[in-house]
A and B are shown apart, each in its own frame.
Chain A
Amino acid sequence: MGFLGFLSFQFMIKNTEIRVEDEVKIGEEQEKFNVFRAMKNFAKNRPAVGATVAAMGMFIGMQGATTAVTVLFQSYFKNVQISGIVQLFAMIPIIAFTPLARKMVVKYGKKELSVVGAVCSMVACFLMLVLRITPDSTGIAIYIGCQLINSLGMGIYSTVSWSMMGDAIDYNEWKTGSREEGVVYSLHSFFRKLAQGAGPSLVIIIMYTFGYVGSNGGNQLFSIALNMRYLVAALYLFSAVMQFVGLALIYNLNKKALDTMNCELEARRSAE
């Protein structure tokens, strides 16, 4: 696995395009960095906030649902073995999409593509919530179908999420004249990690209010397992809605705006 990881990193390094190359002169005088101003700029940076909201929603919902999903397969579907297969199935859409990602991004735009993905996820998760997913083979088939569409939607955003943060950094430079890569990335990472940590904890509290007995693990009464089935769907829907809010309503760099921004930044850098 380590060797594969090394090869993957080499591939990534060779295929990464450096968009901004700064020449650093020794002893050069630079404006003093102000962390509070940088954080204030982050809060005003709509693309950064939008992408962060989408990421936080994804982690709170998806990762928070992990324990509930265990109950879903053990006590609701009574088929623990299939949970691994379902997770594997869920990766199929994103694996199929990844080779097409670049072409589609160039043609339609990152925001546009991600919003469509979020809408797909919302529809899939809503269906997961309202359809009668019974604890038998029919129910498992419906669940898998909804998960495939949900995974595709989530996966589209996952593929472009970090490059959207790159655009958010450019946006900061475009609007304020100041390039604060470190602060933007680190704050984005901080909120992602916060969501990863807080998500499961919050969801456990919700599970307990729905009757979950922690000491019994995945082995729960059917009435509680049924609550978990709805909770899983609701959490996934929450993730999808947050993604939609972050990308469609807050993130404001559509294809046209991105092209305008890149042109102006290029002109500005050339002039320097």
Chain B
Amino acid sequence: MKKLLAFLLIAFMAFSVTACGTVNDSDVAVIWKEGDTAIIPGSLIDTMERAMYIENIAYTHLDSEGDSKKQYSNAEKAVNEGAAALLVNLIEVNDAEKYITLAKGNNIPVVFFGCDIDTTVLETYEKAACVSTDDASLVSVQGAQIKDYMASKYDNEKDTNSLDKNNDGVFSCIALGNVDDVIAESECDLELIDSSELLKAEIIITDNEKDALEALEALQKEGYNKDKLVTHYVPIFTVGSDADASRFTDTSEMDDEDMTTFVYTVSDIIGEGKMTGTVIEDRDSIAGAAVKVVGNLLKGKEIFEGIAEENLAGKNTVKISYIAVG
């Protein structure tokens, strides 16, 4: 028994060694536009922390409070303190050049994320890169989402679509915001109606969460979209998922402290079946790609090693498509 315990102790000590060590000796400075930007599960800062952990990179968050001068000052300070790299959520896109000059002068990588940088500026430094959302994909992703949803409601045997409540062969659509391209992309027979004719609507398409939540609120007052029941339901499609939607759930038993930490957003509403779908930035992929690029540069690997080819958009740029949720 004593021998067994001694062996276990030695084994425990030996295996403990495997838990130590990060890729970089000094921190990577992650310089945000605003440090307290929606620290909710699934936000960019949350997914960035996850990605940093996966790549085993030590980092420090720096808050710029929405001030581009403070943001550059943060970068200078981080570099002076020996930062291993700069990961910048740039406020002023035109400032990219001076960050690249700063990083190049200290031979450290600089990766921009959540913003679009001119490729000619990026190409002046081999350790500079940019990871951002492919804005052009929004129309195609939302259009495809709506198209697939409409197709799923089609009954081949009866040659009818359950969404066509009045069986007139077209779908009455309330369009809120700039969604003309999305409607065209969906290739569905959508007939636009006025937003005042809410209960005649067979589908609602918006380009922002505020309009979607207001539409949902109006529908719920009429007894619609309270659960997953098909009979009293108007599909709502929107863009985004961060807006606070706690007014759509029961918070009566929560105290003030619970309310400050409670998170209930459009994603939750979709999960409960009250809304149909949304299109969001793929934050996991954006953070993952940005951190992967930083990690590659720190380890002396190829800059885009491990990044999916379909996301590469030039010598120093990664573009991540929107994703559909719901």
Binding site for B on A (CB under 8 A): 75, 78, 119, 122-123, 126-127, 130-132, 134-136, 213-216, 219-223, 226, 248
Contact = CB atoms under 8 A, between A and B. Distances in A.
Contact of B54 (A127, A135, A215): A135
B262 A213 contact: yes
Nearest to A224: B41
Given A213-B263, A216-B261, 5 more contacts: A134-B53, A213-B262, A215-B254, A215-B261, A221-B46
A135 B18 contact: no
Contacts of A219: 41-42, 263
Contacts of A134: 53-54
Contact of A123 (B11, B47, B54, B284): B11
B115 interface: no
Contacts of A132: 18-19, 56
A75 B263 CA distance: 14
B16 A130 contact: yes
Contacts of A131: 15, 18-19
A134 B19 CA distance: 12
Interface residues of B, number: 26
A248 B15 CA distance: 24
Contacts of A130: 15-16, 18-19
Contacts of B262: 213, 215-216
Contacts of A213: 258, 261-263
The 4 closest A-B pairs by CB, nearest first: A222-B50, A215-B262, A213-B261, A130-B19
Interface of B: 1, 4, 8, 11-12, 15-16, 18-19, 39-42, 46-47, 49-50, 53-54, 56, 254, 258, 261-263, 284
A216 B267 CA distance: 13
15 contacts: A119-B4, A119-B8, A126-B15, A130-B15, A130-B19, A131-B15, A132-B56, A134-B53, A135-B54, A213-B258, A213-B261, A213-B262, A221-B46, A223-B49, A248-B1
B38 to A, nearest CB: 11
Contacts of A214: 258
Contacts of B53: 134-135, 222, 226
B8 A221 contact: no
B19 A221 contact: no
Contacts of B1: 248
Contacts of A222: 41, 46-47, 49-50, 53
Contacts of B254: 215
A219 B254 CA distance: 17
A229 B47 CA distance: 16
Contacts of A75: 41
A222 to B, nearest CB: 4
Contacts of B18: 130-132
A75 B41 CA distance: 8
A216 B53 CA distance: 22
B8 A135 contact: no
